[in-house]
A = this chain, B = another copy of it.
Amino acid sequence: MQKIPHSTVQRLVLCYSLAQKALTRGDMYLRSQDIAALLQVDETQIRKDMAIVGIGGVQKRGYPVHRVVQRLEELFAVRMEKLAALIGVGNLGRALLNYPGFAKYGVRIVCAFDRDPEKVGREVNRVFVYPIEALGEVIPRFGVQMAILAIPPHSAQEVADALVALGVRGIWNFSSALLRVPREVAVRNECLESGLLLLLHKMWGENHVSFPKE
């Protein structure tokens, strides 16, 4: 199959969530028109996206919800169980541990790591916290495939290198560090600082006068 454009994947993520909602509502079909309105894009775009991943529609009805859900679950590999490690059990890390979204998408956090001796040796949400030095022993033991990085940026690259060396295939990076990893390792940057700055730009960016604090 041809490579799926990244912009298409982004829209399909949203389609997936819409399709799940439609499924619980009991709707049989989703029309490109309605999806497009919610995503605020052109409806042709949605039809093209569907075609790209091989989801066919039915004239006068729309796209069969169950087929959309099925195909997109395949595309996002949500029915496959994925074992994950959480690195950094700070405020954000703990919030992620309690996050209901993971289980829903087949991600199971099986171990956590922290540098702080206060946190090491305890359980958070039934997940044991290991010292960061134990990475090399614990990651292979559990067969961890992906890591969630919720640590300060200064040590992020070092930890990422270790994770990659241990065979981790994907990193969900909440630090502001720009990680360098081999091509075959997937990284998703979820830097909140960046998100905040993008919002601030939308709010006050461009042609405005910025008043200094003092």
Contact = CB atoms under 8 A, between A and B. Distances in A.
A171 to B, nearest CB: 8
Contacts of A104: 193
Classify chain A's interface size.
35 or more
A181 to B, nearest CB: 11
Interface stretch (A55-63, A93-101, A131-139): A93-101
A78 B186 contact: no
Nearest to A205: B75
A77 interface: yes
A91 B176 CA distance: 21
Nearest to A10: B198
Nearest to A1: B207
A202 interface: yes
A20 to B, nearest CB: 10
A142 interface: no
A198 B186 CA distance: 10
Interface string A192-205: 11111111111111
A29 interface: no
Nearest to A74: B210
Given A4-B205, A107-B200, 11 more contacts: A39-B178, A73-B210, A76-B197, A76-B200, A78-B200, A79-B213, A101-B193, A172-B199, A188-B198, A190-B192, A190-B195
17 contacts: A10-B194, A13-B197, A13-B198, A14-B178, A77-B203, A77-B205, A77-B210, A79-B210, A81-B213, A91-B98, A101-B196, A102-B196, A105-B193, A105-B196, A107-B196, A146-B199, A169-B203
Interface of A: 1, 3-4, 9-10, 13-14, 16-17, 38-39, 73-82, 90-92, 94-96, 98-99, 101-102, 104-107, 145-146, 169-170, 172, 176, 178, 186-188, 190, 192-208, 210-213
